[in-house]
């Protein structure tokens, strides 16, 4: 059942966070749905501009509709990750996406407000909901690079949300995209989250750049020929603390890429005579499903799906 992120957030708020997982291909789609159905978790499928351009946007959209038929137990949102205005409008018109993110966070404040408002107006007219962003994550965010963290300013959030009408807000609190998030200890600014929550009680917040980059996974990749040095991620035991502070969506992409890389490197290291892509593909789909299961247990979303479905039906 495809639902909006707003419906999912209303159930999760203050209790747990929904896993928002980026996918690009068929194997990720199958593993993602298997893992979420097995862990009985509501979830968000994130499709980035990069994913939409990797093969064809229509292929991804068709996969979402087909997965909805293959997995009738799944309760999920189809969400555009880090969209620009043009891509948001395209997704709003598609009839498949239930949620879009407009990421105008690199623009000056007033421009961010104006762009976000245009997207919100178009989305709401079609029953689609919108995530916006204030502040900037250090490093690369889709096409834009920030040299340093630009933390979300709590004093701006009420004005931004009331002027734009956005349905959720991505906040920059010290995470970053990719596998190299911290050079020393992780420094997540939960104090900023607390201030934002005080100003916007009950309003759903989003944490990007939340992969954990497990050292064991990186070690296995490197032992199988990889060269990933200095990688560090977010401590997943902090997810529930974020959820208590109003975070309802936690974005995870890099960790899934690491699973893919580990499976394929180990497979071809151990079986150099093999060349059927389905052999590592089958292992990957199972390993990715197991990974999703474990992540949902840490997010607190595991075993919430029956309650979430009933809640959504009741509040329609
Ligand atoms: O935030 C970015 C996501 O990890 C998506 O990455 O643009 O390479 O698909 P991508
Ligand atoms: P990671 O790179 O930490 O997985 O973050 C993904 C993300 O924020 C997608 O929007
Ligand atoms: Zn992101």
Nearest CA to ligand 1 atom 5: 48
The residues annotated with a catalytic role in the active site are: 81
- In whole angstroms, give the CA distance from residue 199 to residue 193: 10
Can you give the pLDDT at residue 125?
A: 98
Q: How far is the CA of 173 from the centre of ligand 1 (A)?
A: 18
Residue environment code for 54-73, b if the CB has 16+ CB neighbours within 10 A, otherwise e: eeebeebbebbeebbeebee
Q: At what angle do helices 154-164 and 109-124 cross, to 10 degrees?
A: 40
Q: Give residue limits of the domains in the chain.
A: 5-314
How many other C-beta atoms lie within 10 A of the C-beta of residue 138? 19
Please report, to the nearest 10 degrees, the dihedral formed by the alpha carbons of residues 158, 97, 142, 185 taken in order: 60
Condensed to tens digits (0 to 9), the pLDDT of residues 102-158 reads: 999 999 999 999 999 999 999 999 999 999 999 998 887 777 788 888 999 999 999
Of residues 304, 134, 284, the one with CA closest to residue 205: 134
Can you give the pLDDT at residue 184?
A: 76
Cβ–ligand 2 contact at 245 (below 6 Å):
no
| Ligand 1 pocket test target in 52, 79, 82, 106 with most atoms within 8 Å of CB | 82
pLDDT tens track of the chain, all 316 residues? 999 999 999 999 999 999 999 999 999 999 999 999 999 999 999 999 999 999 999 999 999 999 999 999 999 999 999 999 999 999 999 999 999 999 999 999 999 999 999 999 999 999 999 999 999 988 877 777 888 889 999 999 999 999 999 999 999 999 999 999 988 777 789 999 999 999 999 999 999 999 999 999 999 999 999 999 999 999 999 999 999 999 999 999 999 999 999 999 999 999 999 999 999 999 999 999 999 999 999 999 999 999 999 999 999 9
Our separate counts of H helices and E strands in the chain read 13, 10
What is the CATH architecture assignment of 5-314? Alpha-Beta Barrel (3.20)
Can you give the pLDDT at residue 139?
A: 83
Nearest ligand atom owner, CA of 231: 2
Q: Is 191 exposed, middle or buried (0-12, 13-18, 19+ CB in 10 A)?
A: exposed
Cβ–ligand 2 contact at 45 (below 6 Å):
no
Cβ–ligand 1 contact at 211 (below 6 Å):
no
Cβ–ligand 2 contact at 212 (below 6 Å):
no
Q: How far is the CA of 276 from the centre of ligand 3 (A)?
A: 33
Q: How far is the CA of 215 from the centre of ligand 1 (A)?
A: 21
Which stretches of 168-207 are assigned E, i.e. beta strand? Answer: 168-171, 205-207
């Amino acid at each position: 059942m495809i639902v909006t992120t707003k419906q999912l957030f209303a159930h999760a708020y203050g209790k747990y966070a929904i896993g928002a997982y980026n996918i690009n291909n068929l194997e990720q789609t199958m593993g993602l749905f298997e893992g979420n159905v097995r862990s009985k978790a509501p979830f968000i499928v994130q499709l980035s501009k990069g994913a939409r351009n990797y093969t064809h946007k229509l292929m991804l959209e068709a996969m979402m509709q087909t997965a909805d038929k293959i997995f009738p137990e799944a309760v999920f949102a189809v969400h555009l990750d880090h969209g620009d205005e043009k891509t948001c409008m395209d997704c709003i018109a598609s009839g498949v996406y239930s949620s879009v993110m407009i990421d105008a966070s690199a623009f000056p404040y007033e421009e961010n407000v104006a762009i976000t408002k245009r997207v919100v107006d178009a989305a709401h007219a079609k029953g689609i909901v919108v995530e916006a962003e204030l502040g900037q994550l250090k490093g690369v965010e889709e096409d834009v690079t920030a040299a340093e963290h630009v933390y979300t300013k709590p004093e701006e959030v009420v004005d931004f949300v009331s002027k734009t009408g956005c349905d959720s807000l991505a906040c920059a609190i010290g995470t970053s995209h990719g596998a190299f998030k911290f050079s020393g200890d992780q420094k997540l600014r939960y104090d900023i989250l607390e201030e934002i929550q005080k100003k916007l009680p009950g309003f759903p917040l989003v944490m990007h750049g939340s992969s954990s980059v497990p050292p064991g996974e990186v070690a296995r990749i490197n032992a199988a020929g990889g060269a990933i040095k200095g990688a560090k991620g977010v401590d997943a035991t902090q997810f529930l603390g974020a959820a208590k502070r109003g975070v309802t969506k936690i974005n995870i992409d890099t960790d899934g890429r690491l699973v893919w890389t580990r499976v394929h490197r180990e497979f071809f290291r151990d079986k150099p005579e093999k060349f059927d892509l389905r052999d590592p593909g089958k292992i990957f789909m199972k390993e990715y499903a197991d990974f999703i299961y474990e992540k949902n247990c840490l997010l607190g979303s595991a075993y919430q799906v029956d309650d979430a479905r009933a809640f959504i039906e009741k509040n329609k």
